[in-house]
Amino acid sequence: MECRIYTDSLTALMDGELTPKEEVAIRTHLSGCPSCHEEFESLRYSYTLVEKVHELEFEPNSWPQIQSRIASSPRPSFFSRLKLPGLWIPIGAFGALLLLATSLMMYFPEDNTSRTRQAFKSYMQERQRDMVSRGLVLPSDRGNSVFVHYNPFAEPTATPKGNPFRSER
Amino acid sequence: MVEPERLDALVNAGKNGDVTAFSQLYALYGKKILNYIFRLTGSREEAEDLMQDTFVLAFRNLHSLKENAKFQSWLFRIAQNNVFQKYRGKMPQIESIDAEGSENPVVAELASGSKGPEETILSDELERVVQRVISELPEKYRQVFVLSAIQKLSYQEISEIVGRSLASVKSDIHRARVEVRDKIKEYLGDNYGMSNLH
């Protein structure tokens, strides 16, 4: 099992991909382990055979053909040369959403919800003034707020009619 | 090995459309790319065509290369993608070795010692055996083996080219190396290791 750890790194050793510490460890093991040393020599021989394999000769005179293809190919467009980083994508999406929201707000300046809210507020303020004038509640110290204080000493009276939010029977 | 400053200057010039500078990059990396594609396809003609495609594509897209120092890995990746595209995602398979036993000329040559220990060049037949063994490797191993054993790229560069982790590349290169060794050994039999080539 211990030998397996070293033999798995023999290729990395020969390729110069080990750290100095790892290299020392594996070479120390190789010097004391005949079977691992044999494996190392066997692999090294195959390295030698592979290194001797001829490569294809390269002819730089084929460059004119490439040059003519480059000359005939379209140049990269301005936008493709901008090298847009990844950050531009979320920025663009956010900008598009913002533009859409602004356009919608301009097209629909007031929606039904805000109208309903305003009508309710007016109704409540009217009720408040009515109740204050009849002495049912005490005026609020919050300016125009609809908040009022309940008057526990007032005589009970009937609720005024005209609730716009309740359908009449 | 190209000096980093020179590489940087050539790539920058190429990005600005300097074809002469790009021709120097072609002279520096053309052989590597040609041989890499040749090992993947097994055809010189195909390799030359795909190498040309690789350099044309590289020039057109040079502006997209963020780190000039990674030009080599980037170029290999283009070459590899060209091969995959050509063969629709599968690397071509080359026929296997059919010769066996001691009757083959390589074994006879090694056994007779007709090529002396001083011989530093592989005989044609032995070279063919090694070439075949490489071409028989499974696709996954062949790719990393060629980049490591033939092109002498670092594991880090190979990892960037093939898009796999460093640990996976290291493991695959080792397996490929062992497989190449075993197949050559199988072919040469007891004569494996007899030729003093190292």
Q: List % helix, strand, coil for chain B (3-state, nearest 5).
A: 75, 0, 25
Per-residue pLDDT, B118: 41
Summarize pLDDT for B24-43 with one digit per residue, the tens: 999 999 999 999 999 888 88
Listed residues A36, A51, A66: the one ending a domain: A51
Give the CB-side neighbour count of residue B100, counting CA atoms within 13 A.
2
Q: Does B34 touch chain A (CB under 8 A)?
A: yes
How high is the ipTM of this complex?
0.75
Identify whether A137 is part of a domain.
yes
Supply the range of the domain harboring residue A165.
Answer: 111-169
Give me the phi and psi of A143, to 5 degrees please. Answer: 65, -120
* Angle (deg, nearest 10), helices B44-60 and B71-86: 120
Identify whether A128 is part of a domain.
yes
Listed residues A18, A35, A51: the one ending a domain: A51
Look at A58 and B17 and tell me if their CB atoms are within 8 Å.
no
Summarize pLDDT for A56-82 with one digit per residue, the tens: 888 777 888 888 888 886 665 555 555
DSSP state of B84: H
Contact B65, B74 (CB under 8 A): yes
Q: Is the pLDDT of residue A112 over 80?
A: no
Identify whether A82 is part of a domain.
no
Give me the phi and psi of A33, to 5 degrees please. Answer: -125, 100
Judging contacts by C-beta atoms under 8 Å, the chain A residues touching residue B16 are none
Domain total in chain A: 2
Q: Give me the residues paired with residue A138 across strands.
A: A149
Residue B159 CA to residue B156 CA, distance in Å, equals 5
Q: Which of B28, B15, B24, B39 shows the shortest CA–CA distance to B143?
A: B39
Identify whether A97 is part of a domain.
no
Please give the class, per CATH, of domain B101-191: mainly alpha
Which tokens in the block code for residue B1?
């090995």
Please give the class, per CATH, of domain B4-86: mainly alpha
Per-residue pLDDT, A133: 82
Look at B27 and A60 and tell me if their CB atoms are within 8 Å.
yes
Per-residue pLDDT, B97: 40
Flag the least confident range among A24-28, A38-42, A130-134: A130-134
Give me the phi and psi of B121, to 5 degrees please. Answer: -110, 135
Identical fold between B4-86 and B101-191 = no
Domain positions in chain B:
4-86, 101-191
Q: Does B186 touch chain A (CB under 8 A)?
A: no
Q: Which of B45, B150, B24 shows the shortest CA–CA distance to A50?
A: B150
Mean pLDDT, consecutive 10-residue stretches, chain B (198 aa), reads 89 92 93 92 89 93 91 94 80 47 46 47 76 88 93 94 94 95 88 62
When CB atoms are compared, the residue of A12, A52, A80 closest to B170 is A12
Residue B151 CA to residue B99 CA, distance in Å, equals 28
Count of residues making up chain B: 198
Please compute the mean of the pLDDT values over residues A100-104 and round it to a whole number. Answer: 85
